[in-house]
Amino acid sequence: MIDFLWSLGSFIVALGLLVAVHEWGHFFVARKCGVKVERFSIGFGKALWRTKDSQGTEYVIAAIPLGGYVKMLDERVDQVSEADLPHAFNRQSVYKRIAIIAAGPITNFLFAILALFIMYLIGLDTVKPVIGKIEPNSIAAQAGLEPNSQFSRIGNRETVDWEAVNFELISAIGEKSLPVEILLPNGQKQEKVLLLDNWKFDPDKVSALTSLGISAYRPEATTELAFIAKHSGADAAGLKVGDKILAIDGTPMQNWEQIVGYIEQRPDSDVTITISRDGVNIELPATVGNRKHADESDKLVGVLGIVSKARPWPESYLFTHHYDPLGAFVKASEKTWRLMTLSVEMIGKLLTGDVSVKNLSGPISIAQGAGTSAGYGLVYFLSFLALISVNLGIINLLPLPVLDGGHLLYYFIELLTGKPVPEQVQDIGFRIGGVLLLLLMTIAIVNDVARL
Amino acid sequence: MLKQRVITALILAPLALFAILFLPLFGFEILIAAVVALGAWEWANMSGYTSKLAKSIYTGLIVGICAALTFTVPIETIWHHGQLSGLYRLILGIAAAWWGLSLLMIIAYPKYSVFWRNSRVIRAVFGILTLIPTWVAVVSLRTSLYDVDPYYGASLIFYVLGIVWAADIGAFFVGVKFGRHKLRPNVSPGKTLEGLLGGVGASSAIIAFAALHYQVDPTRIWMHVLIGGLTVGVSALGDLNESMFKRCAGLKDSGTLLPGHGGVLDRIDSLTAAFPVFAFCYVLWMA
């Protein structure tokens, strides 16, 4: 319940902010162009709060937080007095109308740069993309990738962290092969080629890395306990943080994998755990609990409620994205640009069928993403905001009537023909756009619900 | 007016239903040719051929082309190994191009209209480009997968009729019942936001239903949606196109054949665009 509220709260903050940013772009340029703005609303429906400024613009926060709008004076909609005519949207030159409409998405892109700029100024701790394990017979194994080597380049883009690796792998969906450059532990660089002909990748189920047979390096787990879950079997047995597990039921335990394997095989049974606490060996009886198996839900596995202490990360694997203002700005712009191109690529892959519509996400997935990233802290939330802001901008630029891109399409046609697109033809566009949007939204929401 | 409209529709609908489902294929070809012939008679009038003789010649020409197509491409060879006959493909391709051109003509109107406005011949040719592909499209859809399931083609025809009519019916009834927010009160006072949404919602429902019915593969569902949306849009284009020609001819209705509905063309104008474009997309991407 707390999780849900947290997700919902973060989602409303994120969406409200991004919509406000988008609409503010329209609003700002409209004012600059001399168009009278009658209302600037965040959210739809019933007004919760409103105020008016000296130029007669009403600012509203409304009940349904899924969007917002800027209402400009327009002869097609309102009775416009003679004096106000030059301030009506439809009386503006086509260039001004293009500027006003394009301002929304552009502001979203600028906002993404700003969010990432702040993120890089604060600094983001991350790890280098070092390979941990390679699954035998996997695509990665066939390409000759080896554990402990680091991805330095994928395709023709440098990959400094796992996020970048993920972006480039996703962007390669539908390709036949993918050249990668890896950095061996001895500092040597090597070119390898991943053959993607038989790559089966369902982003819903597994990550791109897992589907290629790669797992990321993480420090080895020790047999020392770092965390005991409340009300768990371990808690009841009196295990404490800092205890070292030596044996279970008399079987010596060499490493953490062995402990996990032993416990998982014994759901709902009693075991005796031998631990070392402050140099003294103690035997504790414990009852193993159970949970559902991750893949086969009719199977139960044992669970004790303990987390091991990992060895520290090797210093050389850690680094911080931290830049001076100029560097942060450059990095933020580069990253925003990559997010934009990646979004467009993904839409393209959706059209060619390389990515299934099953992977379309709607508000629920976005809300979960918002909750998760907000939970990790401000820096991650900023990165999430940038991602969604770019997406919002790109989607709004799709040439579907109803969206900004649709209006822009009409205005560009007007530029070419020298007269506005006839109302009836605009209606045709609205029909096509309306049907496409309604159905795409339905698919996205159905996908979301199916994933819950 | 509305009452007369509904009565005419109630008489015609069961007949159409029966014809689409149960008429033998050859009989179906003839029936569609007959409907197209009625359309041709009215189109001749709109093109400026007002004498009975000229109208008969034009109608004869259209029927003649349909007959010639029937004999060059016998029913069994319309589809061969899941491929539509090359000639029919070509005709559908030309039709798709024609509706693209027609969109440009409407956007530019009245610019460039001098080229066709004053030429009866060109307008008559436009009629051929509109009517013949409609016949080809309906016949191609009806005969699609006939060996596997004799009703499959009929279902495709109902699908197209469904999307086109759902848009109009949904827009009309939702607009009348709930229409409150006028879209552009100073330009077209009849249009409301609710009406537009009603039309969009009704068509979307039909498209979604069809996706479930035909069990469209998830990787191709966007294609299905796109073609459905395109069909909705292009049907409105058929409407506009006919209005544009009527305006040139100074007519309100294309004819007086159907009580309450005006002429045959007024009824089938949206279908003359929807069927060829849908069939073209179907042949290219769905079959």
Residue A117 has a pLDDT of 96
Query: Which CATH architecture is the domain A125-219+313-321 placed in?
Result: Roll (2.30)
Binary contact (A357, B219; C-beta < 8 A): yes
Question: Out of A424, A427, A439, whose CB is closest to B207?
Answer: A439
A436 contacts in chain B (CB < 8 Å)? 225-226, 229
Domain boundaries, chain B: 2-286
Q: What share of chain B is helix, strand, coil (3-state, %, to 5)?
A: 75, 5, 20
CA distance A420 to A88: 16
Residue A1 has a pLDDT of 64
For the question of whether the overall pTM of this predicted structure is more than 0.80, the answer is no
Binary contact (A76, B103; C-beta < 8 A): no
Q: What is the pLDDT along chain B (287 residues), one digit of tens a residue?
A: 667 777 877 888 888 889 999 999 999 999 999 999 999 999 998 888 889 999 999 999 999 999 999 999 998 889 888 888 899 999 999 999 999 998 888 887 777 777 777 788 888 999 999 999 999 999 999 999 888 888 999 999 999 999 988 888 888 888 778 777 776 666 556 677 788 888 888 999 999 999 888 888 777 788 888 899 999 888 888 888 888 887 777 776 667 667 666 678 888 888 999 999 999 999 988 76
Q: What is the pLDDT along chain A (452 residues), one digit of tens a residue?
A: 677 777 778 888 888 889 999 999 999 999 999 999 999 998 888 889 999 988 889 999 988 877 788 999 988 777 888 888 889 998 899 999 999 999 999 999 999 999 999 999 998 888 888 888 888 888 888 888 888 889 999 988 888 888 888 888 888 888 888 999 999 888 888 898 988 888 877 766 677 888 888 888 888 778 888 888 888 888 888 888 888 888 888 888 888 888 888 888 888 888 888 888 888 888 888 888 887 776 666 778 888 888 888 788 888 888 888 889 999 999 999 999 999 998 888 888 877 777 776 677 766 676 777 766 676 778 888 988 998 899 899 989 988 888 899 999 999 999 988 888 888 888 888 888 888 888 888 887 877 777 66
CA distance A323 to A329: 9
B207: contact with A, CB 8 A cutoff = yes
CA distance B267 to B3: 16
Tell me if residue A38 is catalytic: no
Nearest C-alpha of chain A: how many angstroms from B32?
27
The number of residues making up chain A comes to 452
Q: Do domains A125-219+313-321 and A221-311 have the same CATH topology?
A: yes
Nearest C-alpha of chain A: how many angstroms from B286?
13
Domain boundaries, chain A: 95-123+323-452, 125-219+313-321, 221-311
Cα-Cα-Cα-Cα torsion A121, A122, A127, A129, nearest 10 degrees, comes to -40
Query: Which CATH architecture is the domain A221-311 placed in?
Result: Roll (2.30)
pLDDT digits (tens, 9 = 90+) for A215-273: 888 887 788 888 888 888 888 888 888 888 888 888 888 888 888 888 888 888 888 88
A358 contacts in chain B (CB < 8 Å)? 218
Respond yes or no on whether ipTM tops 0.85. no
Cβ neighbors of B154 (< 8 A, separation 6 or more) are: B20, B21, B142
B201 contacts in chain A (CB < 8 Å)? 438
Give CA separation, A150 vs A316, A317, A318, A338, in Å.
12, 10, 12, 21
Nearest C-alpha of chain B: how many angstroms from A410?
10
Give the HSE-up count for residue A90: Cα atoms under 13 Å, Cβ half-sphere: 15
Residue of A nearest to B203 (CA): A435
CA distance A422 to A432: 16
B223 contacts in chain A (CB < 8 Å)? 353
Residue B287 has a pLDDT of 62
Q: Which of A23, A168, A296, A423 is catalytic?
A: A23
Find residues 164-203 of chain B whose CB sits inside 8 Å of chain A. Answer: 167, 182-188, 191, 196-197, 199-201, 203
